[in-house]
């Protein structure tokens, strides 16, 4: 099996020095002659979703080796969003996506790999790898480490969100510090990505639907032996893609992106997909604008009441057949295309041919959805002319429309201080500015403010709007990605304390109830000031990143 990438490194008299270095690695001639498959290992000792990946990487390498390839392992970085949350570390989470993409491209081009299997599990590592696959366009498969199992606390199943919301309950005097300590020790009982439909698990499910990952990628629990078997299958499958010449851009087409979005909104997935799917599509050579997210969500029902918006965890979805079962139900209802190719070498329809939905508790029938519309909504208005996003499946019915006075804060810390000191009142609309891709810089997730509001019981009466973003674990009327952001002169930066803000999620509207003349007057006097970036990397990121409505991609990718 001859492939041109590694041949450029190993074939010919002029490559004798290169072969000498390969011999020093311990490779035999007959191994060197095989196709070279880079195995990207994002394992590290701090992310619970990644600290077991070394075992899966070995299984991937076994599959590659058994199928006639030469697996060559190399690392990349990963940020734990939960640990990085609510301090300066979160400024680095979204920017790490670009670093991951660039490091994989660097290693691949520098060493002539013929294909890639990329082993990941959490938040920005997943889309960073997918973006790299599409940019490189060599045969690639992405494998996740799988979700953790839910924990148990006081007789009920819980996930990490329970601890974040516990902060609000502690502030409200509903639980003690001892209660918090007991809870924090019980919610994360195994390795794996956090047990609910947060960003990591959303993206792992989305990549399965997109066709870049094998069936089972999104839902097989991290601690199940089936996960190791899937890793071996991924190693074998990549050799089939090399043999057939199937590349990521053959798989990730506009129809495949629509399939991924349909699965996303049927699951009630994270708003962060509104950053990552457009960025992945852009690397594939076409656009997937925010308007497409809303178009798909309007016609695709929300079928799975997953934590944080419902009672079910990823293990429950797994036991009802996982993403293949959900896709089979959507395909039968005409809500998916069966034509896109996948990394199995078969089409979506072929993959789903014999799939059955095992139950109806987690994956609801199309005739009895959780909500008639999908989990995400894109809103527009004078405060967000280029759009903003909300996980409408996690909004209480009484907050689908809301009108109240603005409470404006420059940055997450100021907002959290006001929330935690009980200065926010029912009816308020919290506005957090200067947390966008440029303004942050880094577009921090803000789970602590949203979860504290929920813990205080204010998610039924207080809305939050920001040019930053939220964790997939956030719930409530949390409206993020407001574009343009305040740091780029966006009108969200013109809001003042006491201004009335009107929200109508069903009508897809969000308005600052201020006259056009007053807004024009404020805009004329507005001089956005960027906060110090705090590091040379974040400064470079700020200079190159685009709006959240574009997926927060780098300008160079847009040909600018």
Q: How many whole angstroms separate alpha carbon 323 and alpha carbon 314?
A: 10
> 212: closest CA among 42, 114, 342?
342
Q: Is 471 a catalytic residue?
A: yes
The secondary element (H helix, E strand) that includes residue 376 is strand 376-381
> 485: closest CA among 342, 335, 384?
384
In this structure, the number of other CB atoms found within 10 A of the CB of residue 297 comes to 25
Which residues are CB-contacts of 503 (< 8 A; sequence separation ≥ 6)? 379, 401, 402, 403, 429, 463, 465, 477, 479, 509, 510
How would DSSP label each residue in 309-348?
TSSB-HHHHHHTTHHHHHHHHHHHTT-S-S--B-TTSSBH
- Helices marked H in 285-434: 290-299, 314-319, 322-332, 348-351, 412-420
Q: How many whole angstroms separate alpha carbon 381 and alpha carbon 383?
A: 5
- Among the listed residues 6, 96, 135, 471, the single catalytic one is 471
> 159: closest CA among 312, 39, 266?
312
Q: Please state whether the peptide bond connecting residue 427 to the residue before it is cis, i.e. omega within 30 degrees of 0.
A: no
CB 392 within 8 A of CB 298: no
Which residues are CB-contacts of 156 (< 8 A; sequence separation ≥ 6)? none
Active site residues: 471
């Amino acid at each position: 099996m001859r492939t041109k990438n590694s041949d450029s490194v190993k074939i010919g008299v002029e490559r004798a020095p290169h072969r000498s270095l390969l011999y020093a690695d311990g490779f035999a001639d007959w191994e060197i002659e095989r196709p070279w498959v880079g195995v990207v290992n994002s394992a590290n000792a701090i992310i619970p979703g990644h600290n077991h990946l070394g075992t899966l990487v070995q299984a991937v390498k076994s599959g590659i080796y058994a199928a006639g390839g030469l697996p060559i392992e190399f690392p990349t970085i990963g940020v734990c969003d939960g640990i990085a949350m609510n301090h300066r570390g979160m400024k680095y989470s979204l920017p790490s996506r670009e670093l991951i993409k660039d490091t994989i491209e660097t290693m691949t081009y520098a060493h002539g790999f013929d294909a890639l299997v990329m082993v990941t599990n959490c938040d920005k590592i997943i889309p960073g790898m997918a973006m790299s696959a599409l940019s490189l366009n060599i045969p690639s498969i992405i494998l996740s480490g799988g979700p953790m199992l839910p924990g148990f606390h006081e007789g009920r199943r819980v996930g990490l969100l329970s601890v974040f919301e516990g902060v609000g309950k502690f502030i409200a005097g509903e639980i003690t510090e001892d209660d918090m300590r007991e809870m924090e020790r019980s919610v994360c009982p195994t390795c794996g990505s956090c047990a609910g439909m947060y960003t990591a698990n959303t993206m792992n499910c989305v990549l399965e639907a997109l066709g870049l990952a094998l069936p089972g990628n999104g839902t097989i629990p991290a601690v199940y032996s089936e996960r190791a078997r899937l890793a071996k299958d991924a190693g074998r499958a990549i050799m089939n893609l090399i043999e057939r010449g199937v590349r990521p851009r053959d798989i990730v087409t506009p129809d495949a992106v629509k399939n991924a979005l349909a699965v996303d909104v049927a699951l009630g997935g994270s708003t962060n997909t509104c950053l990552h799917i457009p960025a992945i599509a852009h690397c594939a050579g076409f656009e997937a604008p925010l308007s497409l997210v809303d178009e798909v969500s309007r016609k695709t029902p929300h079928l799975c009441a997953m934590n944080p918006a419902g009672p079910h965890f990823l293990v429950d979805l797994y036991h009802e057949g996982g993403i293949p079962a959900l896709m089979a139900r959507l395909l039968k209802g005409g809500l998916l295309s069966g034509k896109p190719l996948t990394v199995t070498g078969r089409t979506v329809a072929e993959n789903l041919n014999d799939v059955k939905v095992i139950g109806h508790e987690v994956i609801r029938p199309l005739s009895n959805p959780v909500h008639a519309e999908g989990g995400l909504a894109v809103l527009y208005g004078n405060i967000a002319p280029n759009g903003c996003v909300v996980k409408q499946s996690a909004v209480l019915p009484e907050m689908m429309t809301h009108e109240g006075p603005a409470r404006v804060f420059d940055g997450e810390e100021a907002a959290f201080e006001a929330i935690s000191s009980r200065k926010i009142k029912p009816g308020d609309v919290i506005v957090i500015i200067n947390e966008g891709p440029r303004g942050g810089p880094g577009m921090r997730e803000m789970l602590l403010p949203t979860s504290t509001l929920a813990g205080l019981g204010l998610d039924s009466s207080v809305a939050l709007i920001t040019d930053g973003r939220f964790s997939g674990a956030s719930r409530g009327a949390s409206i993020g990605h407001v574009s343009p952001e305040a740091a780029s002169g966006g009108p969200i930066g013109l809001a003042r304390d006491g201004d009335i803000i009107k929200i109508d999620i069903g009508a897809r509207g969000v308005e600052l109830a201020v006259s056009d003349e007053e807004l024009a007057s404020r805009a004329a006097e507005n001089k956005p000031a960027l906060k110090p970036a705090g590091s040379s990397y974040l400064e470079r990121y700020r200079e190159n990143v685009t709006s959240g409505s574009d997926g927060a991609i780098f300008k160079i990718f847009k040909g600018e």
